[in-house]
Amino acid sequence: MNCPQCNSNNIVKNGHTHYGKQRFRCQECRRQFGENPTRQPIDEATRSLIEKLLKERLALAAIARVTGVSERWLQMYVNQKYYLLPKQVEVTQKNRVG
Ligand SMILES: [Zn+2]
């Protein structure tokens, strides 16, 4: 683990947060931070699992719970995915009168 601010690995444990998570402090710049200070990218295995679950037409909230991603991220992912899909051309013929 490295400091999110100065990237030093001179890290010491510094008690716990109110929620029981381990807290750390950087000895170099004195910054305090919790576990996993940086956002984790979603890996390929998780993405392919999400693909499968989407095909099963599970609710996004359920998929988020199962795969451990945030609902917000999942919503963004789905939006992006559908945006990239070629859209079916919808022919709407209006009967023009007059
Ligand atoms: Zn630091």
Distance 16 CA to ligand 1 centre (A): 18
- pLDDT higher than threshold 80 for residue 1: yes
- pLDDT higher than threshold 90 for residue 82: no
pLDDT tens sequence across 52-67: 999 999 999 999 999 9
Mean pLDDT, residues 88-92 taken together = 61
Closest to 26 measured CA to CA, from 44, 42, 10, 46: 10
pLDDT tens sequence across 8-42: 999 999 988 777 788 999 999 999 888 764 556 78
pTM recorded for the entire structure: 0.46
Here the tokens at position 48 are 């392919």
Distance 33 CA to ligand 1 centre (A): 10
Q: Are 16 and 32 in contact (CB under 8 A)?
A: no
For the chain, give the secondary structure using H, E and C: CCCCCCCCCCEEEEEECCCCCEEEEECCCCCEEECCCCCCCCCHHHHHHHHHHHHCCCCHHHHHHHHCCCHHHHHHHHHHHHHHCCCCCCCCCCCCCC
Other Cβ atoms less than 10 A from the Cβ of 62: the count is: 12
- pLDDT higher than threshold 90 for residue 49: yes
Residue, of 75 and 37, whose pLDDT is higher: 75
Give the residue extent of every domain in the chain: 1-38, 44-84
Distance 1 CA to ligand 1 centre (A): 11
Distance 22 CA to ligand 1 centre (A): 17
**What does the pLDDT read at residue 37?**
47
